[in-house]
A and B are shown apart, each in its own frame.
Chain A
Amino acid sequence: MLNVGALQEGFVLDHIKAGKAMSIYHDLGLDKIEDCVAIIKNARSNKMGKKDIIKIEAPIESINLDTLGFIDHNITVNIIQNGQIVGKKNLKHPKKITNIVKCKNPRCITTIEQELDQVFILTDEEHAVYRCLYCEEKYN
């Protein structure tokens, strides 16, 4: 098995669905930070068969956990200090997300007024349904 050096300070995003790490890397803006980031694809997992992992050598505050919760609230976030897991962050579906995804309804006001924030509201927590604040179109 491929070995990636242990992280001393930072956090690890574990149990990412296999193949999704690169898109999460971009969605979290990790391509814009100067810190060391390791992406592990298709790691063996007892629970998932295969999974992706992202290790980030930066404080947890450098990412938006709401964005991560919206993408996949089953991802595990482990906080590392001195090479040890010192805490876990439980992700949940955020009540509201702003400027993470765009409304795809061609009739929505956001299609012609580009300066508007793209806001989605969690309208059904059980089924993780988000709707556009303005036109109420469901986000798929």
Chain B
Amino acid sequence: MKHLISPLDLSVEELDELMNVALDISKNPKKYAEVCHGKKIATLFYEPSTRTRLSFEAAMMNLGGNALGFSSASSSSAAKGESVADTIRIISCYADICAMRHPKEGAALVAAMNSSIPVINAGDGGHQHPTQTLTDLMTIRTLKGHLDHLTIGLCGDLKFGRTVHSLINALVRYSNVRFVLISPDELRVPSYIRHDVLEANGAEYQEVSQLEDALPKLDLLYMTRVQKERFFNEEEYIRMKDCYILDTKKMTLARPDMLVLHPLPRVNEISVEVDKDPRAVYFEQVQYGVYIRMALILKLLEIQV
């Protein structure tokens, strides 16, 4: 039995296979509509995340299965002090597969170590969020046609943004991927990502502080939110915040085929006027998220269609 705890749990070949299934699902949804009939996914969400939870539930329902679960720790036995290990042993009797979101890092691994059903990590604190990474990879591969030979700009909070770290970890495995890391000095990518991931894999990267400088050379821009509370002083935040807002004026600097991705939710880092630009694909990205989760459920349940 396999679990998905980190994006690196899947080899490049397994990822390819998964994305092929997801693509087939997107083209032939009816073929997959009943393949999980009688199967149940448990969504164990110890902290709220409406979109991720609904995405998993929608994925299982699209496959003809059902979903059950809880959406906050207060409505689960965790409020009574039950351990993750005990919870998953019990849920293993109720469901065929589970997706877990937990505020503590490593919680999904603890669940996997004690589970008799496949466990999908739906986010464990600031640590991993592998299905977001799968969604990002699926979006890039589908819309660009490949995952290699790309110049990828990552913009915003690169220090605390787990989606950024996971995406870098996944993309360094493909050849000739160059990274442009766009952030204020306070929110640079952590040194372990620079040394242990980028440099250790011989990936080409540069760090810049101005989005405008980077835009013309990018094949893809991955935007994240710069949060006020991450700055040491408000003056610095006010000085920097507009630099990382993508608007139609900045989009004129970008290539005609550059894609804009965002893990969502956005606040104000992408102006709503950019939504009309065909290069803005963050809402399509959400749809790809459902397809890749459907493919993942099939893979972990070992259902061949």
Contact = CB atoms under 8 A, between A and B. Distances in A.
B106 interface: yes
A138 B105 CA distance: 13
Contact of A136 (B85, B102, B107, B127): B127
Contact of A113 (B84, B103, B127): B84
Given A134-B109, A134-B110, A111 B104 contact: yes
Nearest to B102: A109
A111 B110 CA distance: 13
Contacts of A136: 105-106, 127
Interface string A111-140: 111011000000010000000111111100
B192 A108 contact: no
Interface in A49-90: none
Contact of B83 (A111, A113, A137): A113
Interface string B190-202: 0010001000000
Say which size band chain B's interface belongs to. Answer: 10 to 19
Say which size band chain A's interface belongs to. Answer: 10 to 19
Contacts of A132: 106
Given A133-B109, A134-B110, A138-B192, A112 B127 contact: no
Interface string B72-114: 0000000000011100000000000000001111110110000
Nearest to B84: A113
B125 A113 contact: no
A105 interface: yes
Q: From DSSP, what is the main secondary structure of chain B's interface residues? A: mixed
Contact of B104 (A107, A115, A124, A133): A107
B126 interface: yes
Contacts of A137: 105
Contacts of B196: 124
B105 A107 contact: yes
A105 B84 contact: no
Contacts of B110: 109, 113, 116, 134
Nearest to B125: A107
Contacts of B103: 107
B274 to A, nearest CB: 33
Given A134-B106, A135-B105, A109 B192 contact: no
Contacts of A134: 105-107, 109-110
A133 B196 CA distance: 17
A108 B109 contact: no
Contacts of A124: 196
Nearest to A136: B127
B121 to A, nearest CB: 12
Given A115-B83, A138-B192, A109 B126 contact: no
Contacts of B109: 109, 133-134
A107 B192 contact: no
17 contacts: A105-B105, A107-B103, A108-B104, A109-B84, A109-B102, A109-B106, A109-B109, A109-B124, A113-B110, A115-B83, A116-B110, A133-B109, A134-B105, A134-B106, A135-B106, A135-B125, A136-B105
Interface of B: 83-85, 102-107, 109-110, 124-127, 192, 196
Given A109-B109, A135-B124, 6 more contacts: A108-B104, A109-B104, A110-B106, A112-B104, A115-B83, A134-B109
Interface of A: 105, 107-113, 115-116, 124, 132-138
